Amino acid sequence: MEIKGTGFTLRKWRTEDAPSLQKHADNVNVSACLLDRFPSPYTLQDAETFIAMKINEEPVTNFAIEVNGEVAGVIGLDFRADVYRKTPLIGYWLSEQYWGRGIIPEAVKLITAYGFNNLDIICIQAAILSKNPKSMRVLEKAGYIKQGVLKGSIIKNNEILDEHVYATYKS
């Protein structure tokens, strides 16, 4: 399973991806705006564990972002339970060395289209930390609409932050 972008590919995971995943994920500027479940520092064992969880996923909902022959990021749809079962959360990160090249806005558009065309979903949501305006802009470029702001609702690195909620809907 591969989805081609401009200068990158979204693809299924491979066991040999662990070294490049670890290399690009082990960056405090990457982890600073992600959920705490994202390890920092990011070890080779963390990369191997993550890939082992995702490698046989069916249907595929989590993709390696391959740039220049190595995994430089991740994008995926995180399915939830109960009343949220048809409304996954989108999540993504990219190696700092590739920031500002338009990769993530295009990847978000591609994974959004993939989700609506291949999965039984009605909406895709995103939750962005208030200190990450660049990610908010990514979502806006990809056609997501801000639904609201949950004031003082999260804590990251001992700092209380707002959560900006975005969504897009199946047309």
What are 55-112's pLDDT values in tens digits? 999 999 999 999 999 999 999 999 999 999 999 999 999 999 999 999 999 999 999 9
Q: Which of 86, 87, 60, 85 is nearest to 75 (CA)?
A: 60
Q: Cα–chain-centroid distance for residue 147?
A: 19
> Sorting pLDDT into bands at 50, 70 and 90, what band is 20?
very high
pTM greater than the 0.75 cutoff: yes
Q: What is the model's pLDDT at position 144? A: 98
8 A C-beta contact, residue 110 and residue 12: no
Distance CA 128, CA 34 (A): 9
Domains, in order of start, for the chain: 2-169 (3.40.630.30)
What are 29-54's pLDDT values in tens digits? 999 999 999 999 999 999 999 999 99
What are 104-135's pLDDT values in tens digits? 999 999 999 999 999 999 999 999 999 999 99
Burial annotation 9-36 (CB, 10 A radius, 16+ → b, else e): bbbebeeebbebbbbbbbbeebbebbee
